[in-house]
Amino acid sequence: MTDLLQLLIAGLATGAIYALAAIGFTLLWQTSQTINFAQGEFVMVPAFFALIAMKLGIPYVAALVVAILMSMLLLGAAFRYAVVGPLLNRGVLPLVISTIALGIILKESVKDIYSAEAQVFPTLLPDRNVTLLPGVTISLAQIGVLVVALITIGGLQWFLAGTRTGRQMQATAQNPTVARILGVPVERMILYTFLINAGLAAMASILVSPIYLAKFSNGETLGLIAFVAAIVGGFNQVRGAIAGGLLVGVLDNLAAAYVSTAYRQAIPLILLVLVILFRPQGLLGRKEERAV
Amino acid sequence: MGLKWAFAGLAAAGLWAGTAAAQDIVIPNIIELSGGGATVGAMWKNGSSMAVEEINAAGGILGRKIKLEFVDTASDPGKARAAMQRALDDKPVAVFGPIYSGSVSATLKMTAEAEVPQIMGGEAGPLTAQGSKYIFRTSFGQNVSMPKIANYLRDGIKAKSVAVVFVNNDFGKGGRDAIVKELGARDIKVVADVSTEAGQADFAADVIKVKGANADAVFVYLNEEESARFLREAKKQGLNKPLIGETTLLGQKVIELAGDAANGVKGHVGLTVDAPVPAIQEFGRKYEAKYKSKPDHNGVKGYIAPYMIKAAAEKAGKLDGKAIAAALHGLTITPDKVPGILIEATWDESGEIDRISFLGEVKDGKQVITETLPKLKK
């Protein structure tokens, strides 16, 4: 029982990181029909921006800010205009293929420019444990990851629903043509979603790298799991991606403990198949009403 | 007349220089330069490069210079096999690597057939038990190290029950099988048998399982990066049982990657630059000055490989793979004759190495050696 409780909390902490990456999938899909298969690498790269900044003598916290800004610039704006822009009206498949290529390029560049070895990445979070119940010790770092991720997600939800720009973004997502007629600057809204996606990926990177160590290959599994989480939760709903991320995180931990570590990676995929079979729009998704 | 001789001399010198360059001994170094074993491969690469520079500066082997050729296996046995095939096509005098046991296992029959000595870094027990006359270890096999660990768990830690955490590859499974057998022979119960995957990033569930088992000690047998991630997670979750390892867990790279979380780790260390042996400490200093990082056992393993070839080729009197392999069997290389070997070592007929080893622990981010264990056969 105490094991189960600890597994749930650990799973939620990992799941919150998956959710950050999964939200990006849904944002890009809604505004520009981009399925970004480089999303895992988008989470891997910002840690290296921070490491490079620290090597240049920039203090840790400032380096994190640099990492977030650099990823918004390169993985947000440059990605939007250099990769997605030219292919936007050519259907989903060319975009998917180009993001797969981008992922490979990012991964190999980090390996060549920085190192193929895993790197220590410092953590912002306290390195202590608290005992919740007898036998249930939880690290503050784990809680910290969960809290930071949830604050980020909460902030995003508030932005989307509570601000004028956020509502304009939602309008763009729901129907770009009508949004344009109503005077919404659709192009700018699409750019914003790319910037937000890059920012979220950078947050995920900062949270996950102290645990996983920063390494060029970290994106491989992360990207796949985030993709699965987005589909499970509902590809067209931000809250779906959050639920999907948390669910996959918990399931992954339970599977590792009670099934086997060797099979753990298959469990989210089985969940994915079940969702596609029985609830194709995802657990919290709505049926696609977009006119294609 | 004098001028004629001078010309002849110059021509001969030119010719000699030309042939000497062409006749460098090329040794393919088929190692893990990317993938899960990248840290391991980098250490080995630096160590072997350093030794080759020293040997070349001192005149090479039997008057010929060595040139190392590095090929990346990407830590993948399939790629290691392909690389080995290409390397053997050029009929080298010897090959170095791979370091991961799975990749060694995939290549050792090829070097045996080609009759090319393979100086490798693998530690899985079965590697030297397959009858190859061309495979040579640079560190203990698990058949040697695991009995030492089991003795330590019984006598040093006084453990009655142990949780075993291993990585599900040739190295890890070989070690797991060997330690479970040795623990059984000493009436120590294995209360948790936790398999993890190579390249695994998230160890939360594994640590929770180990905590739940409530064993007297935890034996952790993972590769470098995974060891560091496990130790970090163990610290995060407050796992307060003795964490015992074999060489890797107390290695420099793991200490660097795990930070504070490595403190308190104890175990058997086959090879370390912190050993109370002046030659090996001196090697550590030279390495650190050159590469700006402290070497672990894989750095030492890479470093002694060229010296093994040098000693064996000089004993055989010729640069021939078959003769070098024959000379290495039963050879004891001592530091007074070959300083680069660092610690006296003997290779038996199966290519197994015997030398002194150590017990140690990690204190304040440093490996500290507490005891020296003698050679098995003297």
Residues A64-73 have pLDDT tens digits of: 999 999 999 9
Mean pLDDT value across chain B: 90
What is the per-residue pLDDT across B140-187, written as a single tens digit (0 to 9) for each? 988 888 998 999 999 989 999 999 999 998 889 999 999 999 999 999
B308 and B336, same domain (yes or no) = yes
Residue B242 is given by DSSP the state P
On whether the CB atoms of residues B248 and B229 are closer than 8 A, the answer is no
Q: With beta carbons under 8 A apart, name residues in chain A contacting B239.
A: none
My answer on whether B69 and B183 are in the same domain is no
Instruction: Tell me, yes or no, whether B110 and B70 share the same domain.
Output: yes
For residue A255, the distance in angstroms to the closest alpha carbon of chain B comes to: 9
pLDDT of the residue at A289: 55
Chain A residue with the nearest C-alpha to that of B260: A127
Cβ neighbours of A108 in B, within 8 Å: none
| Same domain (yes/no): B95, B244 | no
Q: Distance from A134 to chain B by nearest Cα, in Å?
A: 13
Residues B193 and B236 in one domain: yes
The amino acid occupying position A122 is P
The reply to whether residue B205 touches residue A139, judged by beta carbons under 8 angstroms, is: no
- CB contacts < 8 A (A, B): 96
Would the CB atoms of B260 and A118 count as touching at under 8 Å?
A: no
**Residues of A in Cβ contact (< 8 Å) with B259:** 120
On whether both B237 and B362 belong to a single domain, the answer is yes
| A161 backbone dihedrals φ, ψ, rounded to 5° | -95, -30
**Residue A135 clears pLDDT 80, i.e. is over it:** no
Are residues B37 and B48 both part of a single domain?
Answer: yes
Residue A226 pLDDT: 92
Residue B268's φ and ψ, nearest 5 degrees, are -95, 140
Report the percentage of chain A scoring pLDDT > 90: 41
Quote the CA–CA distance of A241 and A25 in Å, as a whole number. 8
pLDDT tens readout for residues B210-236: 988 999 999 999 998 999 999 999 988
pLDDT of residue B285: 95
Residue B352 within a domain: no
Tell me whether residues A120 and B259 touch, CB distance under 8 A: yes
Strand partners, A131: A137
Rounded to a whole number, what is the distance in Å from the CA of B366 to chain A's nearest CA?
17
Q: Which residues pair with A136 in a beta bridge?
A: A133
Min Cα separation B353/chain A (Å): 29
B34/A261 touch (CB, cutoff 8 Å), yes or no: no
All residues of chain B having their beta carbon less than 8 Å from the beta carbon of residue A11 are 204
Distance CA B276, CA B267 (A): 16
* Same domain assignment for residues B150 and B131: no
CB contact under 8 A, B202 and A142: no
Q: Is B59 domain-assigned?
A: yes
* B316 has a pLDDT exceeding 60: yes
Do A211 and B201 lie within an 8 Å CB cutoff? yes
Confidence band for B306, pLDDT divided at 50, 70 and 90: very high
Are residue B136 and residue B150 in the same domain, yes or no? no
Which whole number is the average pLDDT over B311-321? 94
Helix (H) or strand (E) holding A166: helix A164-174
Instruction: Tell whether B67 and B125 lie within a shared domain.
Output: yes
**Whether residues B95 and B178 fall in one domain:** no
Q: How does pLDDT run across A68-116, given as a tens digit for each residue?
A: 999 999 999 999 999 888 888 888 899 899 999 999 999 999 999 998 8
- How many structural domains is chain B composed of? 2
Name the more confident of B1 and A119: A119
CA distance linking residue A27 with residue A45, whole number of Å: 20
pLDDT for the residue A132: 72
Nearest CA of chain B to the CA of A187: how many Å? 38
Least confident window among A24-28, A253-257, B11-15, B271-275? B11-15
Residue B307: inside a domain, yes or no?
yes
Residue B19's domain is classified under what CATH number?
Answer: 3.40.50.2300
Contact B202 A256 (CB under 8 A): yes
Both structure tokens of A5: 């409780």
* Residue of A117, A252, A253 to mutate for B, most B C-beta atoms under 10 A: A117
- Residue B1 forms part of a structural domain: no
Determine the residue of chain B that is closest to A143 in CA distance: B236
Looking at the structure, tell me whether residues B52 and B126 fall in a common domain.
Answer: yes
Q: Name every residue in B having a CB less than 8 A away from some CB of A.
A: 33-35, 38-39, 42, 168, 194-197, 199-202, 204-206, 208-209, 211-212, 225, 228-229, 232-233, 235-238, 256-257, 259-260
Least confident range of A133-137, A165-169, B76-80: A133-137
* Choice among A80-89, A100-109, B38-47, B340-349 with the minimum mean pLDDT: A80-89
Tell me whether residue B288 is in a domain: yes
Q: At what angle do helices A186-212 and A2-32 cross, to 10 degrees?
A: 150
Residue A223 has pLDDT above 70, yes or no: yes
Which residues on neighbouring strands pair with residue A125, listed in sequence order?
none
**Residue ranges making up the domain that contains B223:** 143-269+358-373
User: Does the domain made of A2-278 have the CATH classification 1.20.1050?
Assistant: no
Q: What angle in degrees, to the nearest 10, is found between the helix axes of B204-213 and A238-254?
A: 40
How many angstroms separate the CA of residue A276 from the nearest CA in chain B?
Answer: 27
The residue among B227, B236, B292 with the most chain A CBs within 10 A of its CB, best to mutate, is: B236
Q: What is the model's pLDDT at position B16?
A: 45
How close does chain B come to A244, measured CA to CA in Å? 18
Domain map (residue ranges) of chain A: 2-278
Q: Which residues contact B364 (CB under 8 A, 6 or more apart)?
A: B263
pLDDT tens digits for A38-66? 999 999 999 999 999 999 999 999 999 99
Residues of A in contact with B196 (CB under 8 A): 261
pLDDT of residue A6: 84
